[in-house]
Amino acid sequence: MDNIYSKLRLLAKSVKAQNLFVSAKELQGIRLFRNVVDFSKLQELYLSYLYMYDSINRDIIIDKISNKIYESDIYEDAYLLFKKGNKKDEKKDNKNSEIHLIMGNKINFPKSEVK
Amino acid sequence: MEDRKAQAEKIVSDMEKENVLSKVEELIKNNKVSFEHDNKKYQVRLLNLSEKEELDMLRRKKFGQLIQDKDILLEKDLIIQYKSRGIDINEIDDQIKKLVAEDVDLQMQLGEAISKNETESILKGYKDQIINLRVQQQILNTQKTLLLEFSLENQLLNHVAQIITYLSLDILEGDTWQRMFSSLEEFQKYKDENLINKAASYSMALQYI
């Protein structure tokens, strides 16, 4: 049972597992595990891999990336890390722009608009 | 002839992979896995509440024994001892942190290259650099693990791994599953190392990652 992580990834990325995962998200009757509570660490890890490959599959479907990402675990991890970093930056930018909309003493409205 | 041999080897290798994968699948779906050893059936399963309490009790008992033993040092004390002999574990940690930061930085660049659909040679360039950094990290991590092998914390972890295997291994008797061992002493004296190793690898995968 050496390198359980790579086996879990391999399983989560399979077409069968991904189809089951998508169906389980949409249909209540389909379950991934026999237990519904008290998930083991292994199950939690497997779920996170299922979400990870679901996210990659979606980006491949909309042609955001090509499926050569599947050639290496390193490509998959790097892409998701970059995507996560980008999302954080987007949130930060949104937050900054929101601050400018709040009325307060420190906001200087452009002089040209003041009549 | 060679082709057929290679094909046969591939089929056997695929079957082995398939078998390992189906065992992992069984572990995930059921939180238990069954296997055969010397014509007997065994299973390893997730611990129930009372077994978790037993694990906790045995862990505390072992900790009590270890902390009283003056020959066994806590990790922090072992680090001080090593430093007095010219081996700086904190420096190893710093080197690991630096490598991890470089690794993350390269991953971000690789991720951006993937999102821009860059050529295979560019992606491979980043990948090779990342692999190189990970080999260096692995060497340092192994070095650190070996140095701290005899710390109290590590001895306790090894003991916990033994207890989990002892508690989670069942044998099929008739058509009911029974606990394989009735005491930790019985488990520790058991001669068949192959069975114990097999059970340990499953129980660690199930409850210890």
What rounded mean pLDDT belongs to chain B?
92
Query: Residue B13's pLDDT is what?
Result: 66
Residues 13-32 on A with a CB inside 8 Å of B are 32
Question: For residue A108, is it within any domain?
Answer: no
d(CA A5, CA B24): 10
Instruction: Read off the pLDDT band of B140 (50, 70, 90).
Output: very high
Helix (H) or strand (E) holding B45: strand B40-45
Cβ distance B31 to A35 less than 8 Å, yes or no, reads: yes
Kindly tell me if the per-residue pLDDT of B187 is higher than 80: yes
Instruction: Read off the pLDDT band of B86 (50, 70, 90).
Output: very high
> Mean pLDDT, to the nearest integer, of B112-124?
96
Q: Which residues contact B156 (CB under 8 A, 6 or more apart)?
A: B59, B62, B63, B66
Number of compact structural domains in chain B: 1
**CA-nearest residue of chain A to B200?**
A1
Question: For residue A111, is it within any domain?
Answer: no
Question: For residue B168, is it within any domain?
Answer: no
- Among B48, B104, B114, the residue to mutate for chain A (most A Cβ within 10 A): B114
ipTM above 0.85, yes or no: no
Residue A64, token pair as written in the block: 């955001």
Range with lowest mean pLDDT among A16-30, B88-102, B141-155, B174-188:
A16-30
Question: For residue A28, is it within any domain?
Answer: yes
Q: Which residues contact B153 (CB under 8 A, 6 or more apart)?
A: B74, B75
Question: For residue A99, is it within any domain?
Answer: yes
Kindly tell me if the per-residue pLDDT of B101 is higher than 80: yes
Question: For residue A81, is it within any domain?
Answer: yes
Kindly tell me if the per-residue pLDDT of B2 is higher than 70: no
What are the pLDDT tens digits along chain A (115 aa)? Answer: 557 888 899 999 999 999 999 999 888 888 899 998 888 888 999 999 999 999 999 999 999 999 999 999 999 999 999 999 887 777 666 665 554 444 444 444 444 443 3
Q: Which of B29, B106, B208 lies closest to A33 in CB terms?
A: B29
> A51 lies in which domain range?
4-103
Residue A93, token pair as written in the block: 């930018």
Kindly tell me if the per-residue pLDDT of B98 is higher than 60: yes
Cβ distance B114 to A82 less than 8 Å, yes or no, reads: yes
A-chain CB neighbours of B203 within 8 Å are none
Query: Is A47 an interface residue toward B (CB < 8 Å)?
Result: no
Number of compact structural domains in chain A: 1
Kindly tell me if the per-residue pLDDT of B208 is higher than 90: no
Q: Which long-range contacts (CB under 8 A, 24 or more apart) does B125-131 make?
A: B126/A78, B127/A72, B127/A74, B127/A75, B130/A74, B130/A78, B130/B103, B130/B106, B131/A74
Question: For residue A86, is it within any domain?
Answer: yes
Query: Residue B61's pLDDT is what?
Result: 96
A-chain CB neighbours of B126 within 8 Å are 78
Question: For residue B192, is it within any domain?
Answer: no
CA distance B103 to chain A (A): 10
Kindly tell me if the per-residue pLDDT of B79 is higher than 90: yes
d(CA A12, CA A9): 5
Question: For residue B189, is it within any domain?
Answer: no
Question: For residue B27, is it within any domain?
Answer: no
Question: For residue B106, is it within any domain?
Answer: yes
Paired strand residues for A29? none
CA distance B91 to chain A (A): 27
Cβ distance B209 to A45 less than 8 Å, yes or no, reads: yes
CA distance B117 to chain A (A): 6
> Mean pLDDT, to the nearest integer, of B98-125?
97
> B117 lies in which domain range?
73-149
Kindly tell me if the per-residue pLDDT of B37 is higher than 90: yes
Nearest CA-CA partner of A68 in B50, B124, B137: B124
Paired strand residues for B176? B173
Question: For residue B16, is it within any domain?
Answer: no
